[in-house]
Structure 1
Amino acid sequence: MQLTSFTDYGLRALIFMAALPPGRMTSITEVTETYGVSRNHMVKIVNQLSRAGYIAAVRGKNGGLRLGKPASEIVVGQVVRDMEPLQLVNCHSDFCHITPACRLKKALHEAVESFLAVLDSYTLADLVADNHPLYQLLQIEQPLVRS
């Protein structure tokens, strides 16, 4: 299964924010420059992550972006469910004439559920905790000290 770039960069943005020292906020510009993605694309991603409660946007002079809840409460599988169109094939009978007898849709559904079950076993905190190579690559000085 391949995630869309929308979901991929959404996860990357969350990883970046989770790796920041407590109390430090970031900006869309900083995230886009870190990952080399277009600002316009990241604005859409951040908007969806914000609507889902994963990111909090703070307005004003000292504003910015931060996680909307602790990294330990953000389950990777749920983020993927919230961002990714998980229908792998179009099984509508107008599109595929074998739909009434097809067993592929059941197999694909089971595969997606297994994929998500593995991702459900990870939180954002699991991805960033004590990950010193990540901090270096992101040029973040302090390791995660959150729960």
Structure 2
Amino acid sequence: MQLTSFTDYGLRALIFMASLPADKMTTITEVSELYAISRHHMVKIVHKLNQEAFIKSSRGKQGGIRLARPAESINIGDVVRRLEPLQLVDCDHCLITPSCHLKRILAQAMKEFLAELDKYTLADIANDGNLKRIFNAEISVENLH
């Protein structure tokens, strides 16, 4: 299964925020530059993450975005379910629908895929010393420009 770029970058944004100290906020611009994607696309992703209560955002000079709760309580399967359109096939107008087993097979595969993701939290992914070093190095280089 291939995730949409929306879900992919949503997960990446959450991973970055989880790697920060709990009291530190980041910005949409910082995250979009870190991953080299358009700020406009990241705005949409952040809006959805905020709607789904994965992050908190605040406006103003001291504003920014951060996780809404501890990374240990953010389940990866839950994030994917809320960000990803999970209908794998559109069988509504298909001639072979009455005799086809593809939808059932794909539904079972999706169930197993999500069950595997349910085994992990954001903390499982983000609490990695190498990730934190990569993020710190990248941000330090950006600050030099």
* SS state at 1:65 partner: strand
> Does 2:124 correspond to 1:126?
yes
Please tell me the root mean square deviation across aligned C-alpha atoms, in Å. 0.9
Distance 2:129 2:123 in 1: 13
The match for 1:139 is: 136
> Does 2:12 correspond to 1:15?
no
Distance 1:125 1:75 in 2: 9
TM-score of the superposed pair, with normalisation by structure 1: 0.90
Which amino acid in structure 2 is aligned with residue 25 of structure 1? M
The match for 2:111 is: 113
The match for 2:86 is: 86
The match for 1:97 is: 95
TM-superposed CA distance for 1:89, in Å, is: 1.1
* SS state at 2:120 partner: coil
Distance 1:37 1:112 in 2: 28
* SS state at 1:139 partner: helix
Instruction: Give the aligned length.
Output: 137
Which amino acid in structure 2 is aligned with residue 105 of structure 1? K
Q: Deviation per CA, 1:77-120, whole angstroms, max 9, x where unpaired?
A: 0100000011111111x2x1111111111100000000000000
TM-score of the superposed pair, with normalisation by structure 2: 0.92
Identity of paired residues, percent? Answer: 58
The match for 1:52 is: 52
Greater share of helix = 2
